[in-house]
A = this chain, B = another copy of it.
Amino acid sequence: MPQVISDPAELRSVLAGRGRVGFVPTMGYLHEGHATLIAQARAECDLLVVSIFVNPLQFGAGEDLNKYPRDLPRDLGVAGGAGADLLFTPSVDLMYPDGFATRVTVSGVSEGLDGASRPGHFTGVATVVLKLLNLVRPDRVYLGEKDWQQLAVLRRMVRDLNVNVDVIGVPTVRATSGLALSSRNAYLTAPQQARAAVLHRALRAVQERYAAGETQVQALQQAGLDVVASDDAVELDYLSIVGAGMQPLDSVEPLGVQAAERDRNDRTEADNRNMTRVLLAARMFGVRLIDNLPLVTAPQVEQGQA
């Protein structure tokens, strides 16, 4: 008679037995944000893999696939300096051979915000990240919080498909000006990058209005929109306040209630702080930029689960 198991964790423990493998998937042109991801993974894992793959499937028609910045020698230096053991650099032909026909779609969390502005984008992201997870088989995957909706989509995918990996979100690294680090910042001159910090100031304005007691989303968003309107280089796509499922909110809980919620639901404080978030996307000087912040300023520490 075989042993009957209905609990996946038990199943895994029967089948498991390796050291901890960490994984940082990237599209290359690594910056300090990536280095932070890599360094955190280095500290927590036995073997650390960084991938560089500019994924055609997540770029729409007219987007910047062909001009996306690439510099492998530089990336080797950044990844190695931050502690990567392996750099995985698959070719497009290898990732998408003739006859490739499979897609991973995540409904709900992928549908608004960037999902609305970039049709098919998150399907491309989910599909390639699942492929990479299957190739690398890491115990932990590290993803930047700058791409907050992407992080939510991938958490959902990992949970839904029982991918045996912990998803670790790592806080956004910023320039002194507040501008979120991004490979796409390379498209901007230094003065343009300084101007682009207006996006971070807009998010901060929302935080400040919330800290002052405002709970109506429309008023909170207006605080951000006022800052955005101060610079006519900003072509705003969206500035939205959303919950953990990326759903639009009408109002948010005041700080005191959030604390009560935390106690009632046994959430960690960090979970709680990150639940409600302000996200924006805008085009400046021809470059699409995204950023986001939690409604309260605090050290953000969080940890996913498979």
Contacts and interface: CB of A to CB of B under 8 A. Distances in A.
A78 to B, nearest CB: 10
B4 A87 contact: yes
Contacts of A8: 90, 94, 135
Given A76-B4, A80-B2, A134 B50 contact: no
Interface in A94-124: 94, 99-109
B86 A136 contact: no
Contacts of A102: 104-107, 126, 156-157, 160-161
A11 B86 contact: yes
A156 B107 contact: no
A161 B90 contact: no
A29 to B, nearest CB: 16
Contacts of A86: 2-5, 11, 14
What does DSSP make chain A's interface, helix, strand, loop or mixed? mixed
Interface in A1-29: 1-8, 11-12, 14-15, 17-18, 21
Nearest to A156: B101
Question: Chain A: interface residue count, which band?
Answer: 35 or more
B6 A94 contact: yes
B80 A1 contact: yes
A134 B163 contact: yes
A218 B2 CA distance: 48
Contacts of A131: 160-162
A274 interface: no
A127 B102 CA distance: 11
A268 to B, nearest CB: 19
A5 B85 contact: no
Contacts of A104: 102-104, 161
A173 to B, nearest CB: 21
Contacts of A174: none
A15 B101 contact: no
Contacts of A100: 160
A9 to B, nearest CB: 10
A164 interface: yes
A15 B106 CA distance: 29
A18 B134 CA distance: 16
B84 A11 contact: no
A79 interface: yes
15 contacts: A1-B77, A2-B86, A5-B88, A6-B89, A6-B91, A8-B90, A18-B18, A100-B160, A101-B109, A102-B160, A105-B105, A127-B161, A131-B161, A134-B164, A137-B164
